[in-house]
Amino acid sequence: MLTKADKYLIDDIHNILENGFWDEDPRPRYEDGTPAHTISVNHVTRKYDLSKGEFPVCTLRPQAWKTGVREIFTIYQKPTNVIAEMCEQGVTWWGPWDIGDGTIGQRYGATVKRYDLMNGLIKDIRENPYGRRKIVSLWQETDLRETPGLPPCAFLTIWNVRGTYLDMVLVQRSGDMLTASGAGGINEIQYAALLLMIARVTGKEPGVFTHFVANEQIYDRHIDNANEMLRRAAEVEAADGAEAVEAATANDTDAAADNAALPRLVLHKEPGCDFTDITLADFEMVNYAPIKPQLKFDLGI
């Protein structure tokens, strides 16, 4: 069965391939030095209601969700910009962005630590739940001008309490759709995990997660993989269609049961727990059976 994220991804791939625009003189390069061109669209929005089982995980290829959660820890829970410390937490891919001092510059975790952003957010949710100023921004001009380094891609979260639910919006300036920013990819998984964490810490239930990407791209060397993911989706849709006919014949159309069978990330931690006490072992991805084999993507750096 296709997840909501899978369906978003299919539509987004079609949209980029049919309506996207090609860049000129790109900054990124592949490892062999070749310019990494992209075809992209502007202003992509996706919305999931976690309370209804709509967890943003793609099943059209395996997603390294544990790796994504580890990175969230390095940014928000045990924030750091030191590459060696990130490696100690299991995040090993930031080496190419070393600015020459063993760090990625005054970026990401260093910004969270400098302004104590997470303690401020948690306190605000607890003490002023219906306030509308719950914004965590990694885009701090003082920090960006202080050192060189990659400006944050996913840089802003906005948090709102809705009764017993905590909702969150993620704003991303740029996204490599098939490797990270796309529907059900690492960025959505890891920020939905962050929503689970903050909701549990503040005694709320995770609610709506919305992701806005200002410019989302497919790299030229990823187009074959994009078409492969469309092919895989078509096979799943064909199988889903056959199962739907059988279910209709059996008069079995229980939508709640269908949602319960979808993959989702579960956080096994008591309400009101300390944010820093949550570990990777507290997470479990259930009902997740992605299509294999994994696809290989050349990265533009």
Active site positions, annotated: 153
62 Cβ contact list (under 8 Å, min separation 6): 290, 291, 292, 294
How far apart are the C-alpha atoms of 95 and 265, rounded to whole Å? 29
The first and second tokens of residue 191, run together, are: 């920020």
Pairing outcome for strands 205-219 and 165-172:
parallel
What residue type is 62 in one-letter code?
A: P
Which 3-state string (H, E, C) describes 98-162?
CCCCCECCCCCHHHHHHHCHHHHHHHHHHHCCCCCCCEEECCCHHHHHHCCCCCCCEEEEEEEEE
The first and second tokens of residue 149, run together, are: 């380094």
Give the CA dihedral 73, 76, 77, 82, nearest 10 degrees. Answer: 70
Q: What is the DSSP letter of 42?
A: E
The first and second tokens of residue 75, run together, are: 């940014």
Return the CA Rg of the chain.
Answer: 20
* Residue length of the chain: 301
Q: What is the DSSP letter of 60?
A: S
Helix, strand, or coil (residue 262): coil
40 Cβ contact list (under 8 Å, min separation 6): 16, 20, 21, 23, 215, 216, 217, 218
Q: Which of 158, 153, 152, 184 is nearest to 170 (CA)?
A: 158
